[in-house]
Chains A and B, each alone.
Chain A
């Protein structure tokens, strides 16, 4: 009986000129929670796709439970071997119900009475991982908010019918969950691993990794660069291993020059759905944060302001967090993706000046640090974090004075984040205002003011000087009338 759940030796994978995996060795023991951290582009997602059978490696071996797999490795083989994955792109069918989606991953749920069994299976697991959820098995996925969809996806990964569960891969599982659900998931992981299931946890939230993993592996540029038991790491050593500048992280605590309190008001808005209630005010040069549990009205307010249902008299730009469905133009080049919001300024003699456009794109590559040699390449050749930078550049390159940000740092590596934070501060200092919805409490320390949302209303507004994590959490769980 092997003590290894899976082992990868010398796995290589290239996509054209991009070397995603440059010879990775990885071992996960039975019942171990392995934390996997690294920059965007470090190769974590690619490695997981190889494990899941979605990608075939160019070189290297894979053993499962100490033995080589009998047949050609594939998605089906991986499933049969008891390996499940929850990737950043959700793989639920939105037109099907929760129970029907369980059927998709469990071929054995068929024949007479399959639906009852499917319902029971998924409900039991949802209750076990996320007690207090309010998801019904016949709910259509499209009707559920993204946080609940994530919960369904995660619960489904842990369900068992025929093949015993060997390894569950969770790639940024808490990115769409609110703090409560995230906590429930992490404690469930600790419980599940004691039953012998191995878990690979990929997350950019270092606190989660440190608290939940038995062992942590750091990846960089397609290779493993560090692997130690979790207690041997702390935030700074993890960052150091990933190559980020520690000093910059600490410096976040410094207060920079806050805008004067009598600067012009640029946005005045109140969440539309609720009747009478507090108003949100943004001044010129301010960075205003929107906090609270995910899905409590923050995005709705941003869209409301963008659509013009608020008191705004300056141009507005929007930076999407869900870049695949709301941001990126797949067929276009990197340059075209940046300039699309600035076309009016590029018109000479009635037509778009292509040279000016290329110049603008190049300028932003330097300013925001997009890692690519050629801005004319297709945008999908960039890693996720760099694609997010493109969306920022798009908004900043336009003439917008107010930038709305819809949790844009989701699943983005720490290095990119720090670069973007610095950019935001610089832009704010020159007079632009930012309205920033974020699900990470850390990011709120960059804001001059924070509005906490609860159930579609603003439950608290906190100035930077009075900011504390405790106060935000309290307002995030505000009770009606309290």
Chain B
């Protein structure tokens, strides 16, 4: 009974290994501390955004606004936070609370999260564009310092990603609260009947998503040093792909935090891999799609083998 489950848990790692090997093969110079650091530097914000998406997916919803939200956080941090830290911090807190309000609204009115977060993405983008019509602003020095720290032996992005994965895994898969959160995705009716507040659970998960989106935005700003409303538009799709690559499922409360982080790392790597392959710019986008397909195809093949065991 545990064997197929182990295989499923190992798939994200296998995928990462394949992409990593392919990258090293094409460009051996990346097999170094510096190389890995460079390729994976965006892994931290992507991983944080992926975890944010994962919280939402745990409760059977989908967040199509995480990308613009990450962009908004960067914009607020690079403008308001820089000039008046207290006001900036308050503004960021409001953003996280807003996520909680959205979660409550979605639950109370039984709304489809896809559409609500779609509309929300417009709102986040509109606020960003109003505050910062063109890229600018300045990242707070502390963010820059954290994101560029040179840790010994293992590059910082890897350490950070591992830490994120472990913390969230412990929180969601081993604690008693995590059971309730995942149960809310597995059988919401049963949870309500058992006396748990579905509303409370959803709000908490949405706010956790907002919190990790906040962290993602700050991390990204630390790397890019100036803000841009559109910088993280791709993150919505990355985050969804990361959760799925990590073995998560859209419905049913089946998620895998460590897998999600590994999935995020894989995506970050795939981006670099494509650049090394010197694909013509016309095909850069297409190649990303192809990589995603190949990776998922491998996963499907492995699953069929698992099912026939």
Give A289-309 as 1s and 0s: 1 = Cβ < 8 Å from B's Cβ atoms: 000000000000000000000
Q: Which of A52, A94, A107 contacts B186 (CB 8 A)?
A: A94
CB of A303, distance to nearest CB on chain B (Å): 16
A347-388, CB < 8 A from B: none
Q: Which of B1, B177, B190, B195 contacts A93 (CB 8 A)?
A: B190
Residue of B with least CB distance to A99: B179
Closest 10 A-B residue pairs measured CB to CB?
Answer: A93-B186, A91-B190, A76-B195, A110-B176, A95-B186, A93-B183, A93-B187, A95-B253, A100-B179, A103-B179
Asked whether A109 and B186 contact (CB < 8 A) given A93-B253, A104-B191, the answer is no
Question: Cβ of A429 < 8 Å from any Cβ of B?
Answer: no
- B194 and A95 form a contact (CB under 8 A): no
CB of B60, distance to nearest CB on chain A (Å): 11
CB of A156, distance to nearest CB on chain B (Å): 10
In the bound complex, how far is the Cα of B179 from the Cα of A114, in angstroms? 11
Residue of A with least CB distance to B197: A76
Q: Which residues of chain A have a CB within 8 Å of any CB of chain B?
A: 52, 54, 74-76, 79, 89, 91-96, 100-101, 103-105, 107, 109-111, 114-115, 136, 139-140, 143
Q: Hey, which chain A residues are within 8 Å of B182, CB to CB? A: 93, 95-96, 100
- B183 and A115 form a contact (CB under 8 A): no
- B253 and A104 form a contact (CB under 8 A): no
Question: Cβ of B280 < 8 Å from any Cβ of A?
Answer: no
Q: Hey, which chain A residues are within 8 Å of B196, CB to CB? A: 104, 107
Q: Hey, which chain A residues are within 8 Å of B5, CB to CB? A: 140
- A79 and B194 form a contact (CB under 8 A): yes
In the bound complex, how far is the Cα of B176 from the Cα of A111, in angstroms? 7
B187-203, CB < 8 A from A: 187, 189-196
In the bound complex, how far is the Cα of B189 from the Cα of A52, in angstroms? 14
CB of B255, distance to nearest CB on chain A (Å): 9
Question: Cβ of B185 < 8 Å from any Cβ of A?
Answer: yes
Residue of B with least CB distance to A106: B194
CB of A208, distance to nearest CB on chain B (Å): 25
Q: Hey, which chain A residues are within 8 Å of B191, CB to CB? A: 93, 104
- B193 and A54 form a contact (CB under 8 A): yes
Question: Cβ of B180 < 8 Å from any Cβ of A?
Answer: yes
Residue of A with least CB distance to B176: A110
Residue of B with least CB distance to A78: B195
Considering only CB atoms and an 8 Å cut-off, how many residues of chain B contact the other chain? Answer: 23
Question: Cβ of B254 < 8 Å from any Cβ of A?
Answer: yes
In the bound complex, how far is the Cα of B191 from the Cα of A143, in angstroms? 20
Q: Which of B190, B195, B254 contacts A107 (CB 8 A)?
A: B195
Q: Hey, which chain A residues are within 8 Å of B192, CB to CB? A: 75
Q: Can you give 25 A-B contacts (C-beta < 8 A)?
A: A52-B193, A74-B195, A76-B195, A79-B194, A91-B189, A91-B193, A93-B183, A93-B190, A95-B183, A95-B252, A95-B253, A95-B254, A96-B179, A96-B182, A100-B179, A100-B182, A101-B183, A103-B179, A104-B179, A104-B190, A104-B191, A104-B196, A105-B194, A111-B176, A140-B5
Q: Hey, which chain B residues are within 8 Å of A139, CB to CB? A: 1
- B187 and A94 form a contact (CB under 8 A): yes
In the bound complex, how far is the Cα of B252 from the Cα of A102, in angstroms? 18
Q: Hey, which chain B residues are within 8 Å of A54, CB to CB? A: 193
- B190 and A143 form a contact (CB under 8 A): no
- A79 and B254 form a contact (CB under 8 A): no
Q: Which of B189, B192, B193 has the most CB of A within 10 A?
A: B193
Residue of B with least CB distance to A97: B179
Q: Hey, which chain B residues are within 8 Å of A52, CB to CB? A: 193
Extra contacts, 12 of them, besides A74-B195, A104-B190 (Cβ < 8 A), are A75-B192, A75-B195, A76-B195, A91-B189, A91-B193, A93-B182, A95-B186, A95-B254, A104-B191, A107-B195, A114-B176, A143-B1
B1-58, CB < 8 A from A: 1, 5
In the bound complex, how far is the Cα of B182 from the Cα of A104, in angstroms? 10
In the bound complex, how far is the Cα of B193 from the Cα of A75, in angstroms? 6
In the bound complex, how far is the Cα of B190 from the Cα of A143, in angstroms? 18
CB of A470, distance to nearest CB on chain B (Å): 36
CB of A76, distance to nearest CB on chain B (Å): 4
Q: Which of B1, B185, B193, B195 contacts A95 (CB 8 A)?
A: B185
CB of B48, distance to nearest CB on chain A (Å): 24
In the bound complex, how far is the Cα of B1 from the Cα of A139, in angstroms? 8
Q: Which of B176, B194, B253, B254 contacts A91 (CB 8 A)?
A: B194
Residue of A with least CB distance to B196: A104
In the bound complex, how far is the Cα of B257 from the Cα of A351, in angstroms? 50
In the bound complex, how far is the Cα of B183 from the Cα of A144, in angstroms? 17
CB of B273, distance to nearest CB on chain A (Å): 33
In the bound complex, how far is the Cα of B252 from the Cα of A110, in angstroms? 23
In the bound complex, how far is the Cα of B178 from the Cα of A96, in angstroms? 11
- B1 and A104 form a contact (CB under 8 A): no
- B194 and A104 form a contact (CB under 8 A): yes
Question: Cβ of B174 < 8 Å from any Cβ of A?
Answer: yes
